[in-house]
């Protein structure tokens, strides 16, 4: 949630007025890498989040509104965007934008076991709730997409990194051919600690659904398990937290035997995907001259090193 599109308070006041909001303060949000986000404080002290979509067009951004409404009805803590004139997505600086209520809570620094269990249960409920949801997205970032990104980035990598990537993709092709029963559905794709809000051990909010797409549920599990069950800055997995996560998840949706067989590989693949994503974002920022204090660029080496750590436990 870097600030790629600078805004003035006056511009935001004009944009927010049709929503019935009188904005008195504008606060840039740093913490992610895809969209521009600001906190809005209004004259009645209520707070909201303004999001400008940097990659999605108006249709793609609007597709998420019924998803959030559906998840809210299923009891999950999500922020449903405000609407006027029958729609939630409007144009700001010639880009699609929305305003949603601000959910209150804190991002976990190092997740407790109770927080790990809470997010695992919420993720499983999300997978079940969206299993038959009638939505087709052009925004697809499945294995085919990431294999394409790997082909684009690989020639610019060091020889050792090329070999690491080739090893990962080779293991994926080998193991997934042996264990094909891996359910697909809509997944969050970015359910890290900084996209959740907690009050002590109580889950208060799940944020940032912009990467929502259809993919294997096991990838979503692996992404979240990697982040919530790693005691950073160490990159090894906290086994007791990982077991707590999986046990909690399975109280809602039991894993298939093939998912269980592939889990260690998918922990490595999840780290690999975010290694590629961070390299991709860094390349785009450099190409477009995106610099400054409001541009967050996460370190690709963190995910590369996690990938190496996770591969220690994978056998073809």
pLDDT given for residue 291 in this prediction: 58
Q: Cα separation of 30 and 36, whole Å?
A: 9
pLDDT given for residue 162 in this prediction: 95
Q: Could you read off the pLDDT tens digit of each residue along the chain, which spans 316 residues?
A: 467 899 999 999 999 999 999 999 999 987 556 789 999 999 999 999 999 999 888 988 898 899 999 999 999 999 999 999 999 999 999 999 999 999 999 999 999 999 999 999 999 999 999 998 998 877 678 888 888 999 999 998 999 999 999 999 999 999 999 999 999 999 999 999 999 999 999 999 999 898 898 999 999 999 999 999 999 999 999 999 999 999 999 999 999 999 999 999 999 999 999 999 999 887 776 666 665 554 556 789 999 999 999 999 887 5
pLDDT given for residue 280 in this prediction: 87
pLDDT given for residue 31 in this prediction: 59
pLDDT given for residue 118 in this prediction: 98
pLDDT given for residue 66 in this prediction: 94
Determine the CATH number of domain 113-311: 3.90.1200.10
pTM: 0.88
pLDDT given for residue 73 in this prediction: 93
Determine the CATH number of domain 9-101: 3.30.200.20
Q: Provide the residue ranges of all domains of the chain, joining segments of one domain with +.
A: 9-101, 113-311
pLDDT given for residue 1 in this prediction: 41
pLDDT given for residue 60 in this prediction: 86
Q: Are 53 and 95 in contact (CB under 8 A)?
A: yes
Q: Cα separation of 92 and 30, whole Å?
A: 19
């Amino acid at each position: 949630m870097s600030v790629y599109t600078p805004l003035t308070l006056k511009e935001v006041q004009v944009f927010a007025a049709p929503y019935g909001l009188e904005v008195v303060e504008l606060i840039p949000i740093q913490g992610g890498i895809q969209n521009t986000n600001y906190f809005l404080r209004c004259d009645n002290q209520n707070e909201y989040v303004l999001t400008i979509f940097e990659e999605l067009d108006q249709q793609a951004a609007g597709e998420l509104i019924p998803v959030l409404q559906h998840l809210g009805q299923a009891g999950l803590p999500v922020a449903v965007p405000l609407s006027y004139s029958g729609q939630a997505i409007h144009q700001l600086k010639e880009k699609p934008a929305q305003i949603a209520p601000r959910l209150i809570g804190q991002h976990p620094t190092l997740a407790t076991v109770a927080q790990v269990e809470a997010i695992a249960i919420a993720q499983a409920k999300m997978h079940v709730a969206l299993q038959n949801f009638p939505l087709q997205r052009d925004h697809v970032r499945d294995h085919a997409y990431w294999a394409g990104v790997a082909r684009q980035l690989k020639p610019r990598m060091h020889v050792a990194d090329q070999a690491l990537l080739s090893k990962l993709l080779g293991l994926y092709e080998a193991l997934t051919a042996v264990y094909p029963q891996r359910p697909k559905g809509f997944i969050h794709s970015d359910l890290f600690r900084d996209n959740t809000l907690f009050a002590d051990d109580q889950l208060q909010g799940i944020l940032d659904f912009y990467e929502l797409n259809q993919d294997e549920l096991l990838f979503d599990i692996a992404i979240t398990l990697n982040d919530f069950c790693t005691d950073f800055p160490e990159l090894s997995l906290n086994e007791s937290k990982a077991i707590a996560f999986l046990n909690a998840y399975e109280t809602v949706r039991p894993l298939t035997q093939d998912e269980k067989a592939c889990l260690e590989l998918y922990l490595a693949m999840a780290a690999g995907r975010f290694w590629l994503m961070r390299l991709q974002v860094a390349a785009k920022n450099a190409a477009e001259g995106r610099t400054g204090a409001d541009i967050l660029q996460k370190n690709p080496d963190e995910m590369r090193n996690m990938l190496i750590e996770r591969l220690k436990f994978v056998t073809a």
